[in-house]
Amino acid sequence: MAQQSSLLKKLFVLLCLVVALVVVGLVVLSMYLGPIIKKGVNTAGPRLTGTRVELESAKVSPLAGGASLKGLFVGNPEGWKSDKAFYLGEIRVRMSPASLLGDVINIEEIYIDQPEFVYEKSLTGSNIKDLLAQIEKNTGGTSPAETPAPDGSGAGPAKKFVVKSFRLQNAKVTLALGDRTAEVSLPTVSLNDLGVKEGGITSEQLASTVLRKVLADVTTAAVDGLANMGKSIISNPATAEESVQQAKDNVKQGLDDAKAKARSIFGGSK
């Protein structure tokens, strides 16, 4: 009986040691996952959008199955006034803790609240249109190919993701038309079961899919907002003349730019 009791005590101590090691391992994992995610976003982001992309910080809690990404800045393509296309203050993520150790990370929900977008319009396009074009170009279409891990270590294929629910709400879109600005709200953007059919998709595929949907909805809201701005300008004689002059100036600037570009290509001083 004494031997059995001694054996049980040893097994209990061993079990406690194993549990302690697992907890320590998860704590260490959480310490390293945040910087890895930050580095991955700051490396893969510019490759995806062709613009400046910066994530301030990322925290992961494997035990709770949660993550928080703060301060995601995505810059405007070249040629636009604002330095940013959009800014996400905080992204909250709920995931399956056990999946962190596997090849496919199962995410229950990605939630973004009160993001900020900037929509600039010109005679020939918009900053969001240019950003979408950059994404299309850099991903090769609607189904971007898999890419190696951002650190280039060649340690194996990149992690894949399955996202049950993506939700973005209470977004603010700042419209810029010439010297005039206005703000419009963006309806809630929802996406479900991303990567489920494929058995998981890479981080760049996930980002590309989400960005296309969100930016398309931003464009729709912006076009409606610009139409309302136009009606307001037309109904106000005091601003109508100013807006017509602004349009003329924009056309003249566009023609001057086109001439300068032609001279740089074909030569000559005329």
> What pLDDT score was predicted for residue 100?
79
- The yes-or-no verdict on residue 75 having pLDDT over 90 is yes
> What pLDDT score was predicted for residue 51?
95
Question: What is the token pair recorded at 203?
Answer: 């981080």
What is the average pLDDT across 223-228? 82
pTM higher than the cut 0.85: no
183 touches 173 (CB < 8 A): yes
CA distance 13 to 5: 12
> What pLDDT score was predicted for residue 21?
47
CA distance 188 to 170: 7
- Of 125, 119, 113, 131, nearest in space to 46 by CA: 131
The string of pLDDT tens digits covering residues 227-261 is: 876 665 545 555 545 554 554 455 445 545 544 54
> What pLDDT score was predicted for residue 157?
65
The string of pLDDT tens digits covering residues 12-66 is: 555 545 555 444 444 445 555 788 888 889 998 999 999 999 999 998 887 788 8
Buried b (16+ CB within 10 A) or exposed e, 74-107: bbbbeebeeebbbebeebebebeeebbeeeebbb
> What pLDDT score was predicted for residue 240?
47
154 touches 187 (CB < 8 A): no
| Average pLDDT of the chain, as a whole number | 77
> What pLDDT score was predicted for residue 90?
92
> What pLDDT score was predicted for residue 102?
85
> What pLDDT score was predicted for residue 109?
95
What is the average pLDDT across 156-174? 89
Question: What is the token pair recorded at 160?
Answer: 């894949």
Burial class (CB in 10 A: 0-12, 13-18, 19+), 72: buried
- The yes-or-no verdict on residue 206 having pLDDT over 50 is yes
Name the DSSP letter for residue 158.
Answer: P
> What pLDDT score was predicted for residue 26?
46
**Structural domain spans, the chain:** 34-235, 239-270
Higher-scoring residue by pLDDT: 59, 179: 59
The string of pLDDT tens digits covering residues 86-102 is: 999 999 999 988 887 78
